Structure 1
């Protein structure tokens, strides 16, 4: 998955891949219902096809709808959870719940539900627009990504969340980490809040860069950085 880093030693647990009947989407007026494993790009392409606007900000963000909702992915002052009308969640006892948007607790890079469980599908509300305007926004957003983010490189996405009212990129640049490498991993010379696997890096190489940055930022600013990447299997 995107925004995920597994330890080189693996993970002692169960990983569930959602597919089958959940990997589909339905259209009803200005509403698109999509299963958790449906890719964001598929939803955006379908919305473009039927001239529905609202998700253009996510053009170029990899991953699935479920993962996007879980981390409330966003860009260009927009977030995925702002589009949610309803979301279906299966709790850990197998009971299915339907939650409306006003029952969700969400904010910068998080989305919480009244119960713990697995996201199955969501209804996303869009606005009618023209194909020309939607394509224009998509192209503008992708142009920005290509210019400022290492989207052609092997990364797990943005590494750290922005501390409240601050830019994590500026913090990292202030301690001169741009281009800093450990074996085959390095802080991207293009955008410092991405770590590139440029030469067969191990997960430990990436993890060590993350820990280095957290340590240096805390020593200089007394700020505890929080990762946007999910670190799994690390002590």
Structure 2
């Protein structure tokens, strides 16, 4: 079970949003590389990075900050936000990313995702962001007609490394993960699922150790880590001590 600390980038700074609203950004660190080093020193094995400006623009807008993070840490990094072409995928993987997260393009062009999985095995994750049970795209600014499980099943057998499922209605407001929807998704597909959006406290960390959550690859934490509601050492020790084979 992996706990992924989140670095969300807006204007080159490390921020957190509430409910996906760009004008609700709180700056937690003006130096993302410093934040990346801090997470590595705390013992986190991965970093989850999102180019928020890029998600809205459809192209990289915080590329220099991401490259600085890659230079600053040896931890594997997964990146999402505005990556929508083969050229962008290839360029980022050549810079040292462990995984590229494809979100909007997974809805707009699922064949591109399947081909990317074929060309870059183990390097492609799909980000499914949902609002009211429907998939949202374009940096969460638009809703689609697709259901979460409906979209996820399109990629069964394609070689997707993980699905990162975010409940936008819970993101950044410390409301707790939507366990029902997240575990239902994990049970519906064979692709590993990472929970995102709302992880709020050590109670949520303990919830990750329950038998039904063993299906998950892990969870992403942002605001709760920055605000001190989750103690990194305690959380990581708990997840290590209760790790079990996936169901």
Provide TM-score, normalisation by structure 2: 0.26
Q: Which has the higher contact order (CA 8 A, sep 6+)?
A: 1
Larger of the two Rg values belongs to structure: 1
